[in-house]
Amino acid sequence: MNELVYVKKNDVFIDSLTIAEKTENEHESIKRLITTHKSRFLTLGNLPISNREIIGAGRPEQYYELNEQQATFLITLLRNNEKVLNFKLSLVQEFYRMRQILIQRQTTEWLQTRKQGKLVRRDETDTIQEFIVYAEKQGSKNANKYYITFTKLVNKAVGLQSGQREQASWKTLAFVSMLEDIICKTVAEEMRNSTYYKEVYQICKRKVGQFAEITYLSA
């Protein structure tokens, strides 16, 4: 799930770096358009400036954060070509999708699912902590990485990237909870069976993959 837009303080944004990249324009050109028409952009909302480290650059790159109306106005200023037209379509779709998620986040289903997911996550974290000690006793030198390893396993199964759970639908969150419960119970069972720690992870990986294929991906 590679998102063009992101949620911040209950609103949806895209940054000028992303717009430049996806339309194959120089970022300086995009920023110049924004500064040229700054007064118009400000009628549509604040125009915050942030910094991001760019690999290979000598200093952090400044970029603008644009809300939906500002982004829509900006792309009307760009010359159309196949790349720009495809980006415009994707941007409209992404803003709509993220707006729907924001609406879902106010529903009882989403709030209850997220709350339940955090309880399951806590149980899983406790079990992984026990597993770390278990793995270290069997010779693991990097057992503390299993928190991240199991999280990535679940996120990959449902198409999420790091930090995206707050932006997921309640159905996706419910499935995340099911997968984490599977991991929690599997790890606990395999430790009771004295299974070698590397095999424990492989068993969890197989179960998560099988369950995702049958239940989530086929839904």
Instruction: Render pLDDT for 173-208 as a digit per residue (tens, 0 to 9).
Output: 888 899 999 999 999 999 999 999 999 999 999 999
Confidence of residue 31 (pLDDT cuts 50, 70, 90): very high
How many domains, the chain? 2
> Are both 86 and 57 inside the same structural domain?
yes
Question: Of 104, 131, 147, which marks where a domain is finished?
Answer: 104
Q: Which amino acid is at 15?
A: D
Alpha carbons within 13 angstroms on the beta-carbon side of residue 201 total 18
| pLDDT tens digits, 72-90 | 999 999 999 999 999 999 9
Q: How far apart are CA 126 and CA 128, in angstroms?
A: 5
For residue 53, the surrounding DSSP H or E stretch is none
Same domain, 31 and 78: yes
CA distance linking residue 163 with residue 11, whole number of Å: 16
**pLDDT, averaged across the chain:** 87
Residues 49, 130, single domain; the answer is no
Give burial (CB, 10 Å; 0-12/13-18/19+) of 105.
Answer: middle
Would you say residue 53 has pLDDT above 60? Answer: yes
Which residues form the domain of 119? Answer: 108-216
Q: What is the pLDDT of residue 16?
A: 96
- For 156-171, b where at least 16 C-beta lie within 10 A, e where not — what string? ebbebeeebbebbbbe
In this structure, the answer to whether residues 25 and 74 fall within a common structural domain is yes
Q: Are 100 and 117 within one domain?
A: no
Q: Are residues 114 and 208 in the same domain?
A: yes
Please, which residues bridge with residue 50 across strands? 63
Query: What is the per-residue pLDDT across 104-132, written as a single tens digit (0 to 9) for each?
Result: 777 777 677 777 778 888 889 999 999 99
Q: What is the pLDDT of residues 138-164, one digit of tens each?
A: 999 999 999 999 999 999 998 887 776
The percent of residues above 70 in pLDDT, for the chain, comes to 92
Residue 142: CB atoms within 10 A of its CB come to 10
1 is a domain residue: no
Tell me which of 56, 79, 104 is where a domain ends. Answer: 104
